[in-house]
Structure formats: structure tokens, C-alpha cells
Structure 1
Amino acid sequence: MSHRPSPDTFLSSANPPVIARIEWQTVSLAVVIYGGFLAVTWFWQSLPVLVIIGLGGWLVAWHGSLQHEVIHGHPTRSRAVNDAIGWPPLSLWLPYTIYREGHLTHHRDEHLTDPIEDPESSYFTRTAWEKMGLIGRYLALWNTTLLGRLTLGPLVMIASFLLQEASSLFKGDRRRAVLWARHAVGVAVVLTWVVVVCAMPLWLYLFGFVYTGAALSRLRSYAEHRYAEHQDERTAIVENSPLFGLLFLYNNLHVLHHKLPAVPWYRIPVLYRRHRNALVTINGGLVYNGYLDVARRFFLKSHDDPRHPRHHDATSVDAATNA
């Protein structure tokens, strides 16, 4: 039987340094992201469309990575300041407060991938799967391929989230209503800048910035987690990806983030290299050699069965796979 390092042993041996009062690396990153956003939207008429889409999608996805960073207590020790940095809704569809609450719930590692307990799970319960119907199940299966996740995935993610939120509002959730009202103010400011001041067509912003940014974010999350009996083996590592590593602020080395979520992004690579053997053993060897390796394995092949094993009855229908 192979020896698995105890997570507690890893945590004590990693011994990350004390977080600075102000992490200037992250402050600088925020300046680059917001400055880049203002520059691309202001000068968009001087740029080729493909450049606008590439830069716009990158900046919105990068902004999502920045939001993830501030959710975990960076770049200052003031939650109010951090939240102010992450709050502007460049993606339009996801209120920062909802993202913050859901993501912190996601970090209860004992519930990782559970479609009931983990807000970021891509799995379905047996009941939800059977309610989807044949077309819904086909779409869900396509969404488990990398190509499906990058093309259809953003639409599925955004639409399902907005429908769920609309249901809460229709049921009279007053706290949610206040939260969405504040978010709407931010969306109005962003769209006023983009559409009115910069005169960018709304379709270009929605596709080039919002949808493309969501697709890049779906690339990050695609191979992050998969179900395993042991909770530590549910979190993956994607190595050797310097470009996407920077875009995702090194959350591609995801098991390290789940073991030490307070470590700032710029310290993750060195800490990972120092403790790689222990981390790979802890997560059961769930390692990919860059995103090309992920694409090679799963471009047109399902990453996993979308029905969660703990919520799947053997008598459940398999119409989507056997039809």
C-alpha cells in the first residue's frame, strides 16, 4: 500500500510566509487589468476585431481570477478594500457577492463535487438528471467534453445561473433582490462606459469580452475537479502552462490552492515546486501536462460521467448514452 502524506504534515512543512499588509504584486495586477480594460474599450475602433476579442476575453477572465484572489483575503487585510477591488462587474452576469459566498462554500473540501453541497459542482443528482429530458442530457454530455465546455459551456453556465437567481427573486428573496439591485448599478456603469462613452457595439462586448472571458474561465475549471472516494483526490494539477498559469493566477496548480487557500498567487509556483512530490501523492497523481494534454484527452471525450456517483441509482435511465 502506497504511503499518502498527511495533509496536516504538508501544511506544517509548507509553512507559507506571513501575508504582507499590502501585497503590491496584486495591487499592480489590478491596475493592469482595469487599465487594460479601459484602454481596450477606449481604443477599440483602432484595433482589429480579433485583437479586441482576444484582449477583451483575456481581461474579463483575468478579472475573474483577480476576484478569486480578493475573495481569499488579498491584497490587503481589509475585507472592505479587497471587496471594492473585486466588485466591478466587468463580466456583467455574476455579482461579486454571490461569487464570494458560493466559492467559500466550495472550499469545504469534504463536499467537493457534490451537486447539492458544492455550488461549483458540474455533476447532477439522479433526480436532476432524469428531469432534464433527452435533449437536456445530450447537452449535458456534450458539455463534459472540452470542446463543448468552451463553446456551449458559457451559455449553459450563465443561463442556468440566471434562471436559478430569477427563481429566488420570484420567491421573494429580499436579500437577493437588494444584492441584484446593487449589481445592476455596477452593470449600468460598465455598459454606459462601453456602449455610450466608447461607442462599442453591445454585441461585440457581449461576445468578445463576456462570452470569450467566460469560455477561458471554463477552460480553467474544466479539469480542476473530478469525483473520487478520497476528498484530496478530487482536485487536479495542470502543470507546465506558463501563459494560462498567469491568466488563472496559478490556480491550475489547484490542489495547492485547496490545501493553502490563503497563499497569494505570486507565491504559488515556488511553493508548488518545493512540495510537488507531496502534493502529487496527496491528490493521487491527478496531474495533466499542460492544457494541450487536457485537450488531447478530452477534446471530444467526456471528462467524467455527469451523474454524481453518490446521487446515482443503478436503475436510473441511460437514454442519453444508449439512445
Structure 2
Amino acid sequence: MSSPQSASKGDFGRRPYSIDWPTIGLAVIIYSAFILTTYFHAAIPWWLLLPMGAVIVGIHGSLQHEAVHGYPTRWPLANLLVAGWALWLWLPYGTYRRLHLQHHIDEQLTDPLRDPESNYVTAAQWAQMGKTHRMIRMAMGSLAGRFIIGPIYFGVMNYIELGEALMRGDRRLLAPWAWHVVAVAAILFWVLWVCEMPFWQYVLFFAYPGTAMALVRSYAEHRWAQNHNHRSAIIESGAFWSILFLHNNLHVLHHLEPGLVWWRRPARYREIREDLLTANGGYLIKGYGELARRYLLTPKEPLLHPYP
């Protein structure tokens, strides 16, 4: 039986390709669903439009994650043109790419000073927060809090960072916003002018719940542990969540073999499941139902990072 590889070998599992056609097909399905759903939104009852919009934007976020890791093509500009349309409006693709690749330095996982996707804060960061900010961060420790509050929190923090970058003239942080402005303008032109959907409706039925769905995935991906391989989870979920997250719920597999494309993860997981459970110290959650039962209203772990 083959073994999972080191996270530093980012190309492990990456098959020789110029274009990954399953990922191209996925992109066609996502954008077709988006175009049809927004164009015919007036004929769709709100209780159906809401989950449809959430799933479309949520899985598009998963598509962006694949693009960050080099799919569907070997050319970053082409991947930007395929996946870089910010359906959730708030986060530039280039910013996400920079932060997520930094997150894949596994030795830094969960460290709030070095891992940009950490759910923890340091004691110094906590001391600098106001009372309201502390309450928000504490509420986001539960799955319900992250789902409900998370989208607006991360959106606001993103625009605060933009304002600070503008004041400093930080070109590295500002560069991704050039494409982002174009992409958001194109999306809003389609939604507001062509489809005649009110802006509030797009935010309420598409952007906000779609972001919330993505935050469900990242809620339980990591925990702190002395061994950095023990910090990444496996969530063995059913078809809905697995497809929505493009099998990234098998998260330790993704960190150990980040070059492995989404549609190859299930077979690879079945092949080396026991090796993966050994590698991550048995950090296994039996589905998102179990996650909700345990942490819907209860924080999954302390907010302060437990530095050794």
C-alpha cells in the first residue's frame, strides 16, 4: 500500500495534464446554473432560490480552491479566467490564492500569527479587541455562529484590510483588487441590469449563504496539536457535502497530497484510509451531522491558541 506524502511535495498526486476536463466541466455546470437561476429568479419561490443560490456560490468557492492548486489548467491566468469570478462578492481571488498557499505551510497550521486561516487568536490579539469584537469571535466558535455571523465578519475584516492597504499604498495587497473590481462589476451588471434582481436579494439568496456554506467546510478542518500532521481533520460525509466541498472534507489527504485533483480524492482516500488516520492521529469526524450535534451551539475549542 502506498503512503501519503509530505505536504512540501505540492505536486504529489498531480497527473500530467494541460487541461483537466472534469474541472472544466464542473465550471460549465456551475456557471450555467448561476446564469439560469439568476435569470429566472422571479419565477423561483424564495424558499427554493435560497438553497439553490447557497449551493451554487458555495461550490464555486470550492472551484476557486481547486484553481489555487493548479486546476483546471497549468496556466494561472487561465485558471483566474475560469474560477476568478467572485460570486460571493467580497474576497478577491488573488487574495484568497495568496493566503491559502501560505496556509499550506503545514508546520504553521493553526498559528494565528503565521496561518491566515487559523480560527485561533493570540493573547495579545485578544487584549487588543474591544468588547463587541470579543463577543463576535466567541460566538463564531460554534458552528451556528460561524455560519450566521461569519460571512459579514470576514467581509468587514477584508474591507478593513483593503482600507489599511490603501493608506499604506501596499501594492502587493492592492493588486488582486484590480481584477476583483472588474469581476464584481460584471457579476452585478448581469444580476442587477440584465436579470433585474435587487442587490439585497442577491446578497441574501446567493452571496451571503454561499459564503456561509464555505465557512462550514473550514470550521472543522484544523485543530492545534503538537504534531502538525495531527492538526488536519477527516470528515467522512455523504454525497451532498462531499460534492459541495469537492471532497476537501478529506482534509488531511489534501494537505498531504495537495496536488491531487478533487475527483481523484475519494479513490485515493479509500486506498490509504488507515495510513491517513495514523498520520493525523485519528482526527476523524463521522459527518457534518455529528459536527452539528456536537458543536452547533458549543465552541469546538478554546479561542486562544494553546501555544506549547
CA distance in 1, matches of 2:237, 2:186: 38
Match of 1:34 in 2: 31
Match of 1:89 in 2: 86
Cα deviation for residue 140 of structure 1 reads: 1.2
CA distance in 1, matches of 2:115, 2:155: 17
Match of 1:265 in 2: 262
Deviations 1:208-260 (A, max 9, x none): 11100011001101100111111001100100321110000000000000000
Cα deviation for residue 17 of structure 1 reads: 6.6
Cα deviation for residue 141 of structure 1 reads: 1.3
Aligned 8 A contact 1:6 1:282 in 2: no
- TM-score norm. by structure 1 comes to 0.90
User: Higher relative CO (CA 8 A, sep ≥ 6), structure 1 or 2?
Assistant: 2
Aligned 8 A contact 2:112 2:120 in 1: yes
CA distance in 2, matches of 1:181, 1:83: 13
CA distance in 1, matches of 2:80, 2:179: 14
Cα deviation for residue 18 of structure 1 reads: 2.3
Question: Which aligned pairs between 1:239-258 and structure 2 lie closer than 5 A?
Answer: 239-258=236-255
Match of 2:301 in 1: 304
- TM-score norm. by structure 2 comes to 0.94
Deviations 1:278-304 (A, max 9, x none): 101111111111000001111111111
- What residue identity is the alignment partner of 1:268? R
Aligned 8 A contact 1:10 1:278 in 2: no
Aligned residue among 140, 150, 156 for 2:153:
156
Aligned 8 A contact 1:24 1:75 in 2: yes
User: Do residues 206 (structure 1) and 215 (structure 2) align?
Assistant: no
Match of 2:163 in 1: 166
Match of 2:20 in 1: 23
RMSD over aligned Cα atoms: 2.0
Identity score, percent: 42
Q: What 5-or-longer segments of structure 1 have no aligned partner?
A: 312-323
- What residue identity is the alignment partner of 2:158? F
Aligned 8 A contact 2:4 2:257 in 1: no
CA distance in 1, matches of 2:182, 2:200: 20
Q: What 5-or-longer segments of structure 2 have no aligned partner?
A: none
Deviations 1:148-206 (A, max 9, x none): 11111111121112212221112221343343233112111110110011000111101
Question: Which aligned pairs between 1:80-159 and structure 2 lie closer than 5 A?
Answer: 80-159=77-156
Match of 1:223 in 2: 220
Aligned 8 A contact 1:56 1:209 in 2: yes
Aligned residue among 64, 68, 75 for 2:65:
68
Cα deviation for residue 7 of structure 1 reads: 5.2
CA distance in 1, matches of 2:6, 2:217: 28
CA distance in 2, matches of 1:166, 1:17: 38
Gap change, CA 1:221 and 1:10, over 3 Å in 2 = closer
Gap change, CA 1:246 and 1:7, over 3 Å in 2 = closer
Aligned 8 A contact 1:92 1:210 in 2: yes
The structure that has the greater radius of gyration is 1
Cα deviation for residue 10 of structure 1 reads: 11
Match of 1:56 in 2: 53
Match of 2:43 in 1: 46
- Number of residue pairs matched? 305
